[in-house]
A and B are shown apart, each in its own frame.
Chain A
Amino acid sequence: MSLEGKIILVTGAGSGIGAATVALLRVRGATAVATDLTGTDIRLDVTDPANWDAVIADTVARYGRIDGLVSNAGIAAATPLVDLDLAEFRRFTAVTVEGAFLGIQKVVAQMRAQGSPAQGSIVVTSSVMATQAAPGVASYAATKAAVSNMARAIGIELGRKGDFIRVNVVAPGGTVTPMLEKAMPPGFVDNPLSWASVPLREPQRAEDIAETIAFLLSDEASFMTSAIMTVDGGWSLT
């Protein structure tokens, strides 16, 4: 599953799934351009169109092109709906939905500028919460559902326009990351009882999600677009 020579931009790469993805892509031979608000050499606020333009221009100046995008930046919080204020909901919308929208739109424009038909592979990090329900996750679930189906629509749209740009979605279940540990009560992640309802009886590691992202980016998945790959140990089955 080689990604030799591919130039791949990763958002939300400062920690968790994004950081694990960058590490794996580099092992597979890719040049992974790691971006985040903090924790990476390249700062990218995915909600800022001008910041996107600058990062894409800089990447192209440095490496000549962009072959892939991992739209992974996201936020999480568990707030009961009755306590949820509109500002927080809009923040989720800005980062998760608008961040992915801006990144895909601008990276696709870059891929098209690189040749015809355009080539590339885009993976969006969604969540099983895009299709499952749980208390306290209204803004997270709604925005993950939005970004998931937006990605699928773009996959169909790009294919029909004669591009070879594939767009797929990875939908992780509970994954051990700093984001999850911050969103859940202390001790949650390390308590086996937290994962008793998962058929495989353990949480995902960030590295597990990175494997699926790397597969989707690779030519092994060259007949896949608008697909959702769930990685949740079977949690969403029941």
Chain B
Amino acid sequence: MMACPRIAVVTGATSGIGRATAIRIARDGFHIIACGRDPARGAATVAAVEAAGGTADFHAFDVTAEADWAALAARIVTDHGRFDALVNCAGGFFSKSLPDTSLEEFRALWTLDVESVLLGTKYGLRAMRDTRTAGSIVNVSSLAGLIGLDDCAAYCAAKAAVTHLSRVAALEGGAFDPPVRVNSLNPGVIWTEMITGSYGESDAVRAFAIDGNALQRVGEADDIANAAAYLAGPASRMVTGTAMVVDGGRGAD
């Protein structure tokens, strides 16, 4: 173990893409601060990271609460003095036609998907700047932030906002010394609780998850975790402001 390991924060680390990302980037030598609301599930993520040979702490936390982000950033600056990677995975989803979507539903998703990323990027940029870390921020958006998806107006709008906010953050982070990189990661349909929780796990849902992909297989959380590892680490040293699409070719046609 290095005297001063690289520090990575992963939000939404209690399930799905977030948990897979925590396990994957720990393998690259990051110490993981796994964030989420549920301590029991957080403990399971920490155990999975450790079982894979990495190290992690769970940090109970609400991504939509600015005070929680401020406290987390202060703790990282004080305890670690560096902040190398932030992967904002936390988010939500619902499917409903636009005429049936209430303003309350729209605002709730906007808070969970966009305000969480705004706050994370804000406090991530601050802490990376203050610790003079050449950090990398990865905001998990969606293919739905780049193309339309039936009955997902609120989600598409929110993920488009995440994608574009990340581009502006890349411009601002580039001015820091050393520069901080910011990219969005735009997955296609990935087989996680976010999908099965909304649509179930029937053969029809599985067929939907496969058939729109050129590669004719289900996208897995590990596929996105591998991409997050690429964006978080030195292999992407000169990559900033991009929207990295990992969708099995779904969005290309």
A residues near B, CB below 8 A?
1, 152, 155-156, 158-160, 162, 164, 166, 173, 198-202, 204-205, 208, 211-212, 214-215, 220-234, 236-238
Contact = CB atoms under 8 A, between A and B. Distances in A.
User: Which label, helix, strand, loop or mixed, suits the secondary structure of the A interface?
Assistant: mixed
30 contacts: A152-B252, A155-B214, A156-B252, A159-B214, A159-B249, A198-B174, A199-B170, A199-B171, A200-B238, A211-B237, A212-B236, A215-B235, A220-B227, A220-B229, A220-B230, A222-B215, A222-B223, A223-B220, A223-B248, A224-B223, A224-B246, A227-B244, A227-B246, A227-B249, A230-B239, A231-B238, A231-B239, A234-B170, A234-B241, A237-B167
B100 interface: no
Contact of B215 (A166, A204, A211, A220): A166
B57 to A, nearest CB: 26
Nearest to B218: A223
Contacts of B227: 220-221, 224
Given A159-B216, A159-B249, A225-B215, A211 B235 contact: yes
Given A212-B239, A237-B167, A223 B215 contact: yes
Closest 5 CB pairs of A and B: A159-B214, A199-B174, A226-B252, A223-B223, A220-B226
Given A211-B234, A227-B245, A234-B171, 11 more contacts: A159-B213, A160-B214, A199-B171, A211-B237, A212-B239, A215-B235, A223-B248, A224-B248, A225-B214, A229-B242, A231-B236
Contacts of B253: 156
